[in-house]
Structure 1
Amino acid sequence: MTTPPGDESVLHRPGAEESAALAPVRFKGRGMLLEQELYIERQADRELLGALRSRQHCHVLAPRQVGKSNLRVRATALLRSAGVRCVSLDLTGIASRSDEEAWYSSLIRRLTSALALPIDVDAFRTRAQGRPSERMIEFLHGEVLPRVSEPLVIFIDEIDLTLDLPFRDDFFRALLFMQDARADDAAWQRLTFCLLGVASPIDLVSDLVATPFNKSQPIELRDFTREELRRLRDGLLSIGGDTDALIDAIFAWTGGHPAFTQQICERLVLQGLDGRTEVERVADLADEMYLRRGRGVDPILADIDRRFSGADRETPQSSRLLKSYKDLLQGAQIRTDEANHLHFGLLIAGLVAERDGFFTPRNKIIATVFDEAWADEQLEQRVRSVIGWAQGREVTTEELKFLLAGREAAKKQEEERIQAELARERALSDVRQTRARYRWLQALVFVVVAFLSVLVLLFREEAADHEKVRQEAQRLREEAAAAQKQAKEEARKAREDAAQRRSEAERAQREAGDAAAKAKEAAEEAKTALAKAKAAGLSAADAKQKQRDAELLASVASFLEANASAKRQEAERATAEADLARLKADQAAAEAIERATRAENARKLADEIAANAKRDAEAALAAAKRSADEAAEAKRQAQLAQQEAAQAKLDKEAAEKARDKALDEVGAMSSAKQLKAEADGARAEAAEARRALESCRRQCPP
């Protein structure tokens, strides 16, 4: 189906989701995808849509048949649903490639027609001034943008067709100008360009400084991953068998190549497994559809072959591309961050892919069709073309020396390349060993740091515990001092109260004694009075009254004596209570002293633990410092190894430059015609030159 499900995968149109759910999934290996034909969303879909929504200029430069057009169509539909005006310009049908005026005029007319704008292009051409690229800028700014209120995205497809334009640098400078003008003119901020094609930026522009690709976001349109191919399950269920095993077999042959994957799935749906296992059936189809048909039948394989075949393709650059590709087939590892534009040329040609930071042969089909024998054949063809040029003509001594020098230079360059490769491998081996030691030291430092962190954590916990113990001891000392002070105060008060009560008891006792004495005296006086009364002859009533008074005084005296005795007992009890309070105070003071002693012992123990933890931490810090010094030394060794590797890389680049120079000299054999013209006056040496040519033919048979 053209629009896969997802947050933004299904275009907003009536019944789209229902029809997608009911109709069967179909595969299509070539051309634009139609309704119900499977579309697998990739990271590039999300990146392109996000960049264009944020009005960021983009470029999608990738090999053929990887889904650039479907990517553009899907992004266009989603942008239009969000209110963005989109237009696509295909450079395939643009007029004359040599007439600059006609080319820009055709481009402007197509843009006007696609936007359906009421603009008289002929009138604009009549009044516009300047170069055609400047008039295109004026047309967009003065005619198009004022009539389009929405954000505008212009897709320019088949941008690689500008490679044949002698004025292509002016076109790309115009795009760069419109990018830079955004900072000063808000109108340009509504215009966004997206370039699509099969070329690398370094091939499209000759001026590597004034290029729009430096400020444009690259969108990498990679082959499908194994996880993305899970979307194939629904379309392959009708075949039967193990669907996951079938997808694994397809991925093993295609490497996720979009067109190859869809083509094999389409054939499987039509023909089924045919009684074979999943692996056998996919292998049979790959052999039938690609391997046996050869490079000239399948359009994708034929396009790759055309990039290296033919007289116009026999250039020094193509020879270097073939040599790099042969190295990859032989197992060489080329990191993407260390690659040059030649390796990206292989990427654009569709021979290699970028996986896990390395360039590798793109898939099993391409590596089988374009194998080492094919690369050797192409390289040999270039040598034969040079030798063929020399056959059948009178070659001067200078020309023969030039040919032989080219062969010697090529041999020397190959030897230098091998030596550079060996030096690079040795340097890389040293770097790997140093990195391994450095990683080991890093692990050691990590362990030491982790151990130190634990020690610091424990030390902090011990310090916190020590602080808690110290605070508890201080609190206990303060409580003991307060209890001791309170006990002393209570004992003092008890003693004072006991003394006061004792004094009162003694006073009461004295008063009771005095009262008793007075009572006795009164009784005696009463008796004496009674006796005197009797002697005096007083009446019995008076005598009885006197007796009652005496008895009353005796009762008062007894009461006073009993009261004194009670106060004495109370004083004795107060004394006993004071003694008990003094005893309790002494006991509390003893307990407080004991608690203070325990707190002091705990404080001493905490101080000892803290001192031990501090000593352990200092020892660990010293060990960490030693480990850090060792890590620094290892890092220095690694830097030295990297410098050696960099020097080896420079040596390799120098060897490559020497090889390129030799190949350029061999590729420039056409200059020998000029040497031939200059040597027409030296016909006397023709016999010697012919003998030398016959010797060359025997050494270098065609």
Structure 2
Amino acid sequence: MAYYQYQVGGSLTSDDPSYVERKADSQLYKALKTGEFCYILNSRQMGKSSLLVRVKHRLQAEGSKCITIDMTNIGSENITPTQWYKGIVTELWLGLNLLGKFNLKTWWKEQEDLSLTHRFSQFIEEVLLVQFKQERIFIFIDEIDSILNLPFSVDDFFALIRFCYNHRAINPEFKRITFAIFGVATPSDLIRDQVRTPFNIGKAIELHGFTLEDKIESLAQGLAVKEGNAKAVLQEILAWTGGQPFLTQKLCQLVLAAKHSVYQTSDSHLLAPVVGYLEPTSNGSSSIITETEASWVEAIVQSCIIDKWEFQDEPEHLRTIRDRLLSNEQMAGRLLGIYQQILAGDQIPTDDSREQIELLLSGLVINEQGYLKAKNPIYQAVFNSEWVVKQLENMRPYAQSFKAWLNSEQQDESLLLQGLALQEALAWADKKQLSDLDYRFLAASQELAKRAVESDLAVEKFEREKAEFALQAAQEAIYILADAQKTAWRNSKNLRLGKKWIASIAGVVASSVILLRFTGLLQGMELTTLDRFFQARPPAPIDPRITIITIDDLDIEAIGTYPLPDQILVQALQALKSYQPRLVGLDLYRDLPVEPGYQELVKLFENSPNLIGVEKVVEPQVAPPPILSQKSQVGFADQVLDGDSKIRRALLTVNLPEDERKLSLGLRLTVKYLEAEGVTAQPFSNKYLDKLSPYLGRIKVFDSLLEMFNNSHQIQLGKAILIPFNSNDGGYVRTEAGGYQILLNYHGTQEQFQTFSIADLLAKKLPAEAIRDRIVLIGSTAESTNDLFQTPYSSRIFDVPTHMAGITIHANIISQLLSAALDGRPLLRVLPEVGEWLWIVLWSGLGAALAWQVKSSRWITITVVITSGVLVGITYLAFLGGWWLPVVPPIIGLVIAAITLPIITTKQLLEKIQLRQTVKLLVVIAQEKPIAGQIAIEYFKQAETQENQVLIEQVLREEGVRC
């Protein structure tokens, strides 16, 4: 049976049976008929748009021309004034059916010399009033609040509307044009320029909620209850909603659903509490038990609206109110403070302040006889005192102290803010409108801070006087010592070591750094630096040869089980075949049947020569699909992890104990792809070695591709030369290099590959060009399947650490090999070990040379920092070109060498000479000023090491001074 349906949200049609005619209907109709410009400005979901539809239909039925302009349709973002005004004119042109009667494009171009507002004015006068010479024209502007976010002023637009009204006295034709404005705003919002005349024309139509005096019979008819019940139920509904149209329609719909016991719906668990108020009827339906209407409606409101309201608020209403309250960070605290006073029962008189206007426009409160009041009990129950307190606590950085201070009846000063906490609170409160209690708390904290500062200043003054007295006695001695040291330093600063020290220091420092590197202590830092280079590299474009089909947690949840049943896999692979991929890599273990559908999967494997499956060859091993194994259509999925569990190398082949050689999934797919391009792997032939071959003997060429990759020699693959990884390559130290490994030059994260979900594949929603003639990889990206790895992109400085799925790593390996072979994209190469040693020696020598050339320690520091930056820049540019050069060891060598040379210079030459000259100068001064000179000598001795103190005493004896 089909039941009556209330419309919850959106505009009602002109003939909707649930429409309630209110006083505003007749007021708006009469005002428009008399030519009044009207505006209906109210909170959201109060029935403004439904009222517009109703009045427009009534006027059209009388022969008037009516057009509605929805301002949200014109847009408010990324729009220019010209586009905006032309959009309004276009809406009028189309809405009044002038297409074919009037060439708007030509007319608009002819008016280019006029301002936009003048063009709009001319369109009204020259087009609308001319095309419709007898009819009245009503222009309804809806969603006017959307213009408040425009990036330019529209004061001229509303000034033009006022002009149309005032111009009636000059041109009576303008009496046929009438405007009506609808939206969530105030008249003062429409023209914001305080210098201009405000928007003060037209008649405001007040739109209140439903009352029992309104024509609410249509609502009662839909409830399908006894006449007595219907009136009582409707009274309770209006009591709960305060007549708010959206809530009233929603609650009526919930009552209707509960009345018919619709427990098969998704909301049956919500309606269950109201069953006790129903009794069966003779026709199989149910009826409300007499005199239980209030409790019945209350139970529905509590269970279906108030309880867990954030999850039940569909269509959205309560969340809209919440968001409007909290969206303006500067005003949210003030709004909540006023609302908190209303909930506490305080009498808040209306004063037309901005915060009260915002509170009224939110729809949460109403103006009742000059005082603010909560609109209805539902709002009071949802946005109750506890909710307000929680929101204020979330906003206040000082919430705990504030709450404790209030609990102490605002008496405990130890709970007030002090120091940095007070400064942070004042900075947060700046340009915000807070509650009175907030301002009282901050003012009390500032007063306490002021008293504390005054007390500290008094203590500080006393201590300062004591210190000044003590310092005055020693001040002259300090000046004497400082002057003597400065003079001695000036006399000896031009002395420096010979150039031979540069090479010696560079050699010693570089050797030490190289030995330190051999210990492996620098490996972590070098690998981390490599990671940062990967992260800093500009994102690569999406690889056009590879597409990834992912299986994430949502897919697994939708399918209901994992591993995927063979039947689902068959459906996916068959769907994929229709797109004609060149190759398919199935990164899902299929060593055992996953019924249902195993036989179909076996048959599909037999007839899929372009399908490559996976196995795991390193313990714990996982066998490949038998059929694919027999057809040699299998690659292993194992990865090589570094000590920090990150993947920076690609394992291409491995040798098993039975002398069996295996290829990785990425390598096997790459080789098959390249075969179709006419590219095959060959042993790399060095032309210089070839010239020496008669003397060195022939290099053995292996009989098969597997033998070629198993050998440690370099392999030529198209434009690329594969160089096997050695245990000490780059920043690695004594790292396992088994199998045929290469350094992995990542193409990027999953964002650098075309990616679709398996759900899209099963639904055949994939674009054909994203699959055809590509390598398609199918694999899991779900966290629950534990196929995620750390990579250089995992540990970022500012972002949350992320992991990369195994299928994405396979895609990176394939992308690296294909791009290198076909496009010449550089692989990641390293210098020979001797070359890296020379690189470290070079930068260590540069550090020593800079320190030798630059005498000032400050300038040495600046020069070393700049040089280190140049080193990092050079290595980064080399990285972009495919070279991994050492970064950390050269920087260490550079810094240590730059530090070592000045230290040696100071120890070997300057320090001793400077000390002797200082002592001799102090002795001379002591002869003229005995007391100050003796104090200066004593200060000098106390500041030096034990070794230097002995030297000072020796010089004093030489100068004839008694120690």
Q: Distance in 2 between matches of 1:180 and 1:223?
A: 33
Is 1:181 the counterpart of 2:181 in the alignment? no
1:26, 1:36 within 8 Å by CA — same for their partners in 2? no
What residue number does 1:498 align with?
none
Is 1:373 the counterpart of 2:386 in the alignment? yes
2:191, 2:198 within 8 Å by CA — same for their partners in 1? no
What residue number does 1:687 align with?
none
What residue number does 2:148 align with?
163
Structure 2 CA distance for partners of 1:403 and 1:415, relative to 1, 3 Å: closer
What residue number does 1:123 align with?
106
% identical aligned pairs: 32
**What CA deviation, in whole Å up to 9, does each residue of 1:103-158 have, x standing for no partner?**
11111111100001122222122111322122111111111111112111100110
Describe the SS at the equivalent of 1:50: helix
What residue number does 1:353 align with?
366
Describe the SS at the equivalent of 2:63: coil
Structure 2 CA distance for partners of 1:412 and 1:181, relative to 1, 3 Å: same
For residue 411 of structure 1, report the CA deviation from its aligned partner.
5.9
1:25, 1:38 within 8 Å by CA — same for their partners in 2? no
1:59, 1:219 within 8 Å by CA — same for their partners in 2? yes
Is 1:305 the counterpart of 2:322 in the alignment? yes
What residue number does 2:339 align with?
325
Q: Distance in 2 between matches of 1:405 and 1:305?
A: 21
**What CA deviation, in whole Å up to 9, does each residue of 1:180-203 have, x standing for no partner?**
222211122111110101122233
Structure 2 CA distance for partners of 1:289 and 1:323, relative to 1, 3 Å: same
Describe the SS at the equivalent of 2:125: helix
Higher strand share: 2
Matches within 5 A, 1:391-406: 403=427
Q: Distance in 1 between matches of 2:307 and 2:348?
A: 30
Q: Distance in 2 between matches of 1:343 and 1:335?
A: 10
Which amino acid in structure 2 is aligned with residue 188 of structure 1?
Answer: F
What residue number does 2:307 align with?
292
Structure 2 CA distance for partners of 1:224 and 1:371, relative to 1, 3 Å: same
Q: Distance in 2 between matches of 1:175 and 1:25?
A: 42
Among 277, 287, 296, which residue is 1:281 paired with?
296
Which amino acid in structure 2 is aligned with residue 125 of structure 1?
Answer: W
Q: Distance in 1 between matches of 2:176 and 2:140?
A: 14
1:95, 1:102 within 8 Å by CA — same for their partners in 2? no
Matches within 5 A, 1:237-636: 237-238=224-225, 242-272=229-259, 274-276=275-277, 277-295=292-310, 297-298=312-313, 299-310=316-327, 313-315=328-330, 317-336=331-350, 338-384=351-397, 403=427, 413-414=439-440
Q: Distance in 1 between matches of 2:107 and 2:170?
A: 25
Q: Which has the larger radius of gyration?
A: 1
Is 1:154 the counterpart of 2:157 in the alignment? no
Describe the SS at the equivalent of 2:253: helix
What residue number does 1:228 align with?
214
Describe the SS at the equivalent of 1:119: coil
1:176, 1:210 within 8 Å by CA — same for their partners in 2? no
Describe the SS at the equivalent of 2:233: helix
Among 217, 224, 230, which residue is 2:203 paired with?
217
Structure 2 CA distance for partners of 1:322 and 1:29, relative to 1, 3 Å: same
For residue 294 of structure 1, report the CA deviation from its aligned partner.
2.1
2:241, 2:376 within 8 Å by CA — same for their partners in 1? yes
1:52, 1:58 within 8 Å by CA — same for their partners in 2? yes
Structure 2 CA distance for partners of 1:191 and 1:416, relative to 1, 3 Å: farther
Q: Distance in 1 between matches of 2:76 and 2:223?
A: 47
For residue 399 of structure 1, report the CA deviation from its aligned partner.
5.2
2:69, 2:92 within 8 Å by CA — same for their partners in 1? yes
2:76, 2:149 within 8 Å by CA — same for their partners in 1? no
1:296, 1:302 within 8 Å by CA — same for their partners in 2? no
Structure 2 CA distance for partners of 1:28 and 1:365, relative to 1, 3 Å: same
What residue number does 1:107 align with?
88
For residue 413 of structure 1, report the CA deviation from its aligned partner.
4.1
Is 1:144 the counterpart of 2:125 in the alignment? no
Q: Distance in 2 between matches of 1:259 and 1:398?
A: 44
Structure 2 CA distance for partners of 1:326 and 1:398, relative to 1, 3 Å: closer
Describe the SS at the equivalent of 1:265: helix
Q: Distance in 2 between matches of 1:68 and 1:405?
A: 37
2:364, 2:379 within 8 Å by CA — same for their partners in 1? yes
What residue number does 1:43 align with?
23
Describe the SS at the equivalent of 1:155: strand
1:48, 1:219 within 8 Å by CA — same for their partners in 2? yes
Structure 2 CA distance for partners of 1:183 and 1:257, relative to 1, 3 Å: same
Among 18, 25, 38, which residue is 1:58 paired with?
38
Which amino acid in structure 1 is aligned with residue 239 of structure 2?
Answer: A
For residue 275 of structure 1, report the CA deviation from its aligned partner.
3.6
1:42, 1:224 within 8 Å by CA — same for their partners in 2? yes
What residue number does 1:4 align with?
none
Describe the SS at the equivalent of 1:63: coil
Describe the SS at the equivalent of 1:242: helix
RMSD of aligned Cα (Å): 3.4
Q: Distance in 1 between matches of 2:84 and 2:429?
A: 46
Structure 2 CA distance for partners of 1:414 and 1:401, relative to 1, 3 Å: closer
For residue 365 of structure 1, report the CA deviation from its aligned partner.
0.6
Q: Distance in 2 between matches of 1:211 and 1:288?
A: 51
Describe the SS at the equivalent of 1:89: strand
For residue 297 of structure 1, report the CA deviation from its aligned partner.
4.7
Which amino acid in structure 2 is aligned with residue 48 of structure 1?
Answer: L
For residue 238 of structure 1, report the CA deviation from its aligned partner.
3.0
Which amino acid in structure 2 is aligned with residue 255 of structure 1?
Answer: G
Q: TM-score, normalised by structure 2?
A: 0.37
Structure 2 CA distance for partners of 1:399 and 1:409, relative to 1, 3 Å: farther
Which amino acid in structure 2 is aligned with residue 144 of structure 1?
Answer: L
Q: Distance in 2 between matches of 1:396 and 1:233?
A: 62
Q: Distance in 1 between matches of 2:443 and 2:233?
A: 43
Structure 2 CA distance for partners of 1:358 and 1:125, relative to 1, 3 Å: same
Q: Distance in 1 between matches of 2:435 and 2:65?
A: 58
Residues paired across the two proteins, number? 386
Which amino acid in structure 1 is aligned with residue 181 of structure 2?
Answer: L
Is 1:32 the counterpart of 2:11 in the alignment? yes
